[in-house]
Structure 1
């Protein structure tokens, strides 16, 4: 199966008045400089649109330069003065409301300076984030992956933000916004648009920790969002005071696609935020979570007395305070990515009653772990180190991983029911004809499930007694 495209945009067509040609003309007008070694097109890319190399490109070459005046955000929109004036009334947990109001206005304004850019998405319904799937579909295909819970939170936050912040603002400014045009449905589609296509400028670390940092807000970056993502990318966006530049980070041969990176993203994150997945075998950043609740549940197994269970509960409460209520332990393809937190949890959960009592009296460990100890912990929880862990620690990890696997979808495929294990998914993902019979959403969900479960099954194998 080919790598899933990150997006679906409108067809470009062959005439010069197509949305793509209009956009390229607009780019020229706003002084966006495109290298003559690349082109934007449909054919030969993994998406409806992408960027291809017309000639060999060497590392360090600039593929295009975007002046900051061509970026779309609340400071460059035609209603920027009003948004700035009302800034205090637009505060929200996401911080996205000013940008979303700017997009609501620009997307529906016939005179918008950004029409040629935004017309590439004539129908935002083509975005296929799980938030646009039915709840039944999410729960059936993505159960256990963490995505249904994340989407439920997103939808609740979007509705709350729209009702409590956006609607009162719209009512106050009817000359620019209209609740019948700028609906919750359109607002939700624009949230997905921002999730999938926006960029955030990297923030430099401040020397003065007390100095308050400005929020790192998203912005729309025309042309940069035409590039698709793979973990093994060949280009990267660089920020300068006057412009943004897409720079080649390794040689690209003529005819190859130019790929950007959205960061170290697991497949569940790519699907949740961008609506696509990579092949799980090729996504080196894939991860699987073991909910901390599963580790605590395993720790109570075998205890018959209430006092023993109460001791585990006390340990759990203290760990929640120490780890700031971390919800899960994250494992990647090479081992645990939250090794310090897992080390702490295992150490506390396996303490005797007397050891835990001393631990409470001392209010935890007296000294912070130094760099050398952190390196030792990291090695211990890598794939190479896991088999050598204490038997009691391995048992907790092993059983928690088994418990996590059982939370995945038990779906029916051609009359077969999936039990504990990867039987159905493994067989399915290796059968090209069977994959071709699945719809796009089923294929994406399969990649997420297989990627996560393969990590968990490797973990189960490494922690066997």
Structure 2
């Protein structure tokens, strides 16, 4: 974002009754991070950086398009998922200066580095990783504002920048032709207030929203709904997904959060959570996702010092997924019975078909339990199934041997080796890589380091286990000879 656009955005924001302390907070460009917020002066803890009127958030609840379309909005399923919000953003952008959010939409990115926009060659680098109304949508605007490319663009904007802004207790939906009973609407939209916070204010927590093209959703905020119906507890209202001007200007980085968005009845406000020195960037980070998620959702990756047992630069939040079918394929070669019944039982009882390895390089307990289930003798398997009791995650040499084969096989799913990726990222070669390829290499290298570290740990334990078994065998043999001698 250029300095002129940033200045225009701040002017627009304040003209729409947003309040920014421009003496302390500035919007600038950060190399490698794009635009972001910076502290212009020292900022104390618990200081309000800016406030945003609720009606300035852009959602299907605040946009007038749903009301204009009437019953057709629901007939076309636009009240579910992200399609409605994407269409609202496209429509508002097509209105130009007539749109309340024109000053905001003009600042949003028009290009993304997320894999949705990558070509086949770049995508291969990630191998192995985790309604038409002419009165509202004039034909002459279709190619510029309502193309599939713009649809994907709006979806990516939501994926990378949106927040979940739930209704305040007693607030009525806007732009919805089917209004429910007032009291019922108030009850189902009530929000719990954290007792540790000031009355009338709630700190928001991260959640996942309805996905676009199967993605997990954006990094955003949630305050739990006070709804006694357990069937609705996990239901997320698509109308809660909103674009929040100014709040989405803040960048994110691993364990760097120093500001958080808070809800109040008529506005949202960004508040510092720790002192921020002049010149420091203001970060709004919710959770510390792995690089695979950062790339898919935001188009960037984190590189910070790793914690032991790993070393170098990477993302301490990285993970590797190991599919259950990979484990089954290895275990099936070690046993003489069919594993289908056991796998079906596991999926019914545990519902885990993917196991996650983290940067601590320890085998996940669920993975160990699953391997033990596959290896149980027939009588023990029947007892476990009868009692609906999962095997304890106990490591032994048989489990460790299976784990070694699984990890080695998982490493072979990548198109390159760990050493080849490290060579690609060497200072003398990294400049030769495109941005997309550099990101892909960083993602897969982080995963390979976890796999290699876990494999090293498992091999050490397997050797120790084999040594213990041999020692026990010799002791038993000596004991047996002693008994014969005494006879």
Residue 317 of structure 1: aligned partner: 344
Counterpart position of 1:196: 160
Contact 2:400 2:458 in 1 (8 A): yes
Give the unaligned 5+ runs of structure 1: 1-10, 147-168, 381-388, 411-420
**Pairing partner for 1:394 from 387, 391, 400:** 400
CA RMSD in angstroms comes to 2.5
C-alpha distance in 2, partners of 1:329/1:93?
Answer: 34
Residue 20 of structure 2 contacts residue 49 of structure 2 at CA under 8 Å; is this kept in 1? yes
What SS is found at the alignment partner of 1:317?
helix
Give the ranges of 4+ consecutive aligned residues of structure 1 lying more than 4 Å apart after TM superposition: 335-338
Is the 1:39–1:52 contact (alpha carbons within 8 Å) kept by the matching residues of 2?
yes
Aligned equivalents of 2:83 and 2:58: distance in 1? Answer: 14
Alignment partner of 1:426 is 2:443 = no
- Give the superposition deviation at 1:338: 5.8
Between the aligned partners of 1:270 and 1:337, the Cα distance in structure 2 is 24
Deviations 1:39-86 (A, max 9, x none): 0012x5543311111112222222211111110011111324135644
Shift of 1:446: 1.3
- Aligned with 1:222 (options 234, 242, 245): 245
The CA deviation at 1:178 is 4.7
How far off is 1:447 after superposition?
1.1
Partner of 2:353: 327
- Cross-structure match for 2:102: 115
Q: Secondary structure at the match of 1:73?
A: coil
Query: 2:53 maps to what in 1?
Result: 67
1:435 aligned onto 2:441: no
Change (3 A) 1:94 1:265: farther
Q: State the TM-score, normalized to the length of structure 2.
A: 0.73
Aligned residue among 39, 52, 74 for 1:88: 74
The CA distance in 2 between the partners of 1:318 and 1:228, in whole Å, is: 44
Q: Secondary structure at the match of 2:50?
A: strand
Q: How many Å separate the matches in 2 of 1:390 and 1:292?
A: 19
Please report how far the alpha carbon of residue 107 of structure 1 lies from its aligned counterpart in structure 2 after TM superposition.
Answer: 1.4
Equivalent residue runs for 1:289-438 within 5 Å: 289-303=321-335, 308-310=336-338, 312-324=339-351, 326-335=352-361, 339=365, 341-362=366-387, 364-365=388-389, 389-410=395-416, 421-429=417-425, 431-438=426-433
**What is the distance in 2 between the residues matched to 1:357 and 1:92?**
49
Partner SS for 1:228: coil
1:309 CA drift (Å)? 4.4
Q: Of the two, which has the highest radius of gyration?
A: 2
For residue 252 of structure 1, the aligned residue among 273, 276, 282 is 276
Q: CA deviation at 1:461?
A: 0.8
Secondary structure of 2:428 counterpart:
helix
Q: Name the SS of the counterpart of 2:232 in structure 1.
A: coil
Aligned to 2:2: 12
2:230 pairs with 1:210 = yes
State the distance in 2 between where 1:261 and 1:216 align: 23
- Counterpart of 2:283 in 1: which secondary structure? strand
CA distance in 2, matches of 1:226, 1:132: 22
Residue from 90, 96, 101 that aligns with 1:104: 90
Q: Deviations over 1:199-227 (max 9, x none)?
A: 12414164624362452432101111111
How far has the Cα of 1:103 moved from its partner? Answer: 0.6
In the alignment, the residues of structure 2 paired with residue 347 and residue 243 of structure 1 have an alpha-carbon distance, to the nearest angstrom, of: 53
Name the residue aligned to 2:197: none
2:120 equivalent in structure 1: 135
Work out the CA distance in 1 between the residues paired with 2:314 and 2:24: 27
Which of 440, 458, 463 is equivalent to 2:458? 463
| SS state at 2:75 partner | helix
Counterpart in the other structure of 1:154: none
Contact 1:130 1:272 (8 Å CA) reproduced: yes
How far does the alpha carbon of each residue in 1:419-463 deviate from its partner, in whole angstroms, 9 at most, with x for none?
A: xx411112333x212112211011111110111111111110111
